[in-house]
């Protein structure tokens, strides 16, 4: 079930929240103490989340329950072994090395999680690689990946590793289930770490400020998604076949805007819903299109994913502690994995490699005089140019489609008969919304504009005007939703 459907907005979400608030407030009544004792509120959220998940694919829920139970068992065993301080003795030359028994259990748990992800998502590409290198003709069976498997896998790894590191306790089976199946984030994140989520399970409190912030966030998210992202996506979906150069460049620009407003809008909706339920999650986007480097871009884009890779891949590999050369290798490894995680195709791998190489080169030249003195506009132009073309890699699932599109963009491929020119696709409405998209994704993120906006909201009259504008945008977004036949979130496929 998508968030941007009439059923979700007007049926599922209102009923779910009404039930959640009813149970939440009954817990504060002395005569309903058993509700808290038996975790009725959390069981209610798990039930709501299960219905949300079942709505998409009924059969997956039973596999998901088994998956949750296995993850919980691994976590509990790791915690017990750590508490009892059980060790293995490993012989290394003349010395004996003691290794916690929790280490092999953690390794088994991570292997299980990664195997599950690979089994459902990467069997096809692994078979193609095997056939290419060994001249074989293995035919891989295609599996339908469980909904949200990529994000669930990363959350589950966070659960096990945080327990092993002592950053959080394993909690109960209900805690583990609540964390993994929590319906706002289960499909496409953001990736909330277990150590951040577990601290809020017993401490969450619903108040007017948090609810107001949540509702505002949801309305902004819907406006980003339905007014901007879906409008751009609808045009992109139709601009195929024989097109002119201007259309190809325009479509590439719109895709750059679409993927930002689509995913940042989704993240805003998730964060807003979580706020309404008493949870506070970190922001997932911070105006990435004002970045002056690819390194900065990845500090601002999909922040939760970047944090996950730093915590569970980059730092365990040694981070920057083992010298510059090792640091560069670690960066490249992280970005190759990032590319593969997004999709089982060469375009995703190349996309990850380019971003990794740019990060590595920027690390090497960051303290050079010529780089420091380079005008900010040139740095921004470089970062956005790399991002612009990398998104085209991201847009196509195979290299042939990507190459064909690039040939059109640079005039290598031309068409004698073009049924619709750029004037047809880029009418006044599209141009107006594209300008709005460019301004709100760049200018609005500048520090001076942000500071002025925050100061303005301190005045009650301007705050009220701001809320009226956001509410009006939300109403308009609902009208767009009713009249549009394009609504899928891009990141649902990952």
Active site amino acids? 342
> Minimal CA–CA distance to 215: which of 257, 272, 254?
272
Cβ atoms 288, 308 nearer than 8 A: no
Q: Compute how many other C-beta atoms are within 10 angstroms of the C-beta atom of residue 75.
A: 28
Q: How far apart, in whole angstroms, are the C-alpha atoms of residue 176 and residue 166?
A: 16
Q: H/E element holding 20? A: helix 13-26
Cβ atoms 176, 214 nearer than 8 A: no
**CA distances to 33, 44, 55, 98, 126 from 406, in Å:** 64, 50, 39, 56, 27
Q: How far apart, in whole angstroms, are the C-alpha atoms of residue 220 and residue 269?
A: 8
Q: Compute how many other C-beta atoms are within 10 angstroms of the C-beta atom of residue 469.
A: 11
95 has which bridge partners? 92
Q: How far apart, in whole angstroms, are the C-alpha atoms of residue 449 and residue 453?
A: 6
87 has which bridge partners? 100
Cβ atoms 405, 350 nearer than 8 A: no
Q: How far apart, in whole angstroms, are the C-alpha atoms of residue 211 and residue 205?
A: 10
Q: Is the dihedral of CA 409, 414, 420, 422 positive or negative?
A: positive
Half-sphere exposure of 246 (CA within 13 A, CB side): 8
String of DSSP letters for 225-236: IIIIIHHHHHHH
Backbone angles phi, psi at 90, to 5 degrees: -110, 130
**CA distances to 91, 98, 100, 178, 188 from 94, in Å:** 7, 13, 20, 48, 50
Q: Is the dihedral of CA 485, 486, 492, 494 positive or negative?
A: positive
DSSP state of 96: E
């Amino acid at each position: 079930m998508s968030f941007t459907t009439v059923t979700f907005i007007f049926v599922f979400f209102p009923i779910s929240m009404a039930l959640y608030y009813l149970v939440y407030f009954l817990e504060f009544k002395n005569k309903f103490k058993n509700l808290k004792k038996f975790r009725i509120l959390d069981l209610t959220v798990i039930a709501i989340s299960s219905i949300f998940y079942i709505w998409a694919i009924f059969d997956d829920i039973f596999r998901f329950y088994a998956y949750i139970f296995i993850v919980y068992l691994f976590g509990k065993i790791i915690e017990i072994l750590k508490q009892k301080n059980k060790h293995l003795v490993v012989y290394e030359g003349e010395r004996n090395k003691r290794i916690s028994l929790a280490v092999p259990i953690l390794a088994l748990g991570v292997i299980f999680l990664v195997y599950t992800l690979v089994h459902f998502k990467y069997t096809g590409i692994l078979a193609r690689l095997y056939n290419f290198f060994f001249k074989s003709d293995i035919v891989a069976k295609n599996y339908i990946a469980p909904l949200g498997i990529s994000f669930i896998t990363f959350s589950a790894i966070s659960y096990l590793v945080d327990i092993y590191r002592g950053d959080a306790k394993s909690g109960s089976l209900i805690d583990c289930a609540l964390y993994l199946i929590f319906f706002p984030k289960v499909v496409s994140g953001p990736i909330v770490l277990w150590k951040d989520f577990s601290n809020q399970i017993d401490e969450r409190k619903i108040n007017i400020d948090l609810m107001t912030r949540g509702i505002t966030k949801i309305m902004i998210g819907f406006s980003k998604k339905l007014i901007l992202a879906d409008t751009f996506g609808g045009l992109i979906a139709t601009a195929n076949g024989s097109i002119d150069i201007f259309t190809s460049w325009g479509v590439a620009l719109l895709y750059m805007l679409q993927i930002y407003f689509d995913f940042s809008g989704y993240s805003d909706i998730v964060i807003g819903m979580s706020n309404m339920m008493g949870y506070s999650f970190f922001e997932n986007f911070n105006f990435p299109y004002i970045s002056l480097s690819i390194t900065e871009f990845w500090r601002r884009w999909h922040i939760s994913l970047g944090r996950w890779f730093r915590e569970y891949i980059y730092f365990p590999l040694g981070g920057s502690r083992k010298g510059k050369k090792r640091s560069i290798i670690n960066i490249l490894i992280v970005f190759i994995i990032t590319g593969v995680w997004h999709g089982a195709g060469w375009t995703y791998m190349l996309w990850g490699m380019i971003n990794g190489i740019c990060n590595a080169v920027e690390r090497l030249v960051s303290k050079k005089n010529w780089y420091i003195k380079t005008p900010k506009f040139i740095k921004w132009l470089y970062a956005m140019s790399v991002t612009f073309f990398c998104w085209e890699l991201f847009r196509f699932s195979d290299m042939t489609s990507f190459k064909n599109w690039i040939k059109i963009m640079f005039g290598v491929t031309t068409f004698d008969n073009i049924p619709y020119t750029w004037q047809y696709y880029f009418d006044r409405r599209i141009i107006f919304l594209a300008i709005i998209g460019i301004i709100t994704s760049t200018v609005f993120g500048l520090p001076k504009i942000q500071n002025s906006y925050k100061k303005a909201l301190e005045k009650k009259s301007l705050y009220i005007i701001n809320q009226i504008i956001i509410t009006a945008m939300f109403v308009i977004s609902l009208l767009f939703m009713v009249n549009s036949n394009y609504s899928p979130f891009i990141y649902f496929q990952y």
